[in-house]
Amino acid sequence: MTTSLDSTTERTFRAPLPRVDGYVPLRSYAAIGDGRTIALIADDGQIDWLPMPEMDTEPVIAGLVDAGSGGRFELRPVADFEVDRSYLEGTNVLTTRFRTASGTVEITDALVTGVAGRLPGRSSCAGSRASTEPWISSGRSSPAARSGRSRCSGSTRCTGRCCERETSTWC
């Protein structure tokens, strides 16, 4: 486990696990979360699962179960690359390093809501690409809305179409 982002820490780079029909093996995923929801990030830089705003709500990204049309968010080098990943010790903050022939880029991932500090990041010369394809449900509303149950859960209070907690509100 890496305890800092300094360049003196030894890294173990390897090729990302290959996708077959759009899917990667489950061992390819790293999880980041905020206590309300979780994102699963494959070692090729693609987020394949993200329900929002909580775990029991419809996902905005569901490529884990439908690679063709489930949506995705990817952030990765354009060129061929090797990857090294680790969590900052004692956290679920994920540091991913992509190494290409032209340089290295380091990405720090954390799923945070509310007020959060700034996360460190650095890179050297390596072209990258980012793209987002959210999942568009075939229904007109979330499964919770179609079933008639409130999507507000736990210690939340539903006020019309919005849910409230002591520290946040979402609609």
Rg value, the chain, Cα: 18
Tell me the C-alpha distance between 77 and 69, whole Å.
Answer: 23
- The full set of domain ranges for the chain reads 1-137, 139-171
- Closest among 13, 3, 1, 17 to 104, alpha carbons compared: 13
Question: What are the pLDDT digits (tens) for 142-161?
Answer: 443 333 334 444 444 444 44
- Report pTM: 0.69
What single DSSP character describes residue 88?
Answer: P
Question: What are the pLDDT digits (tens) for 63-88?
Answer: 999 999 999 999 999 899 999 999 99
Q: What is the pLDDT of residue 135?
A: 67
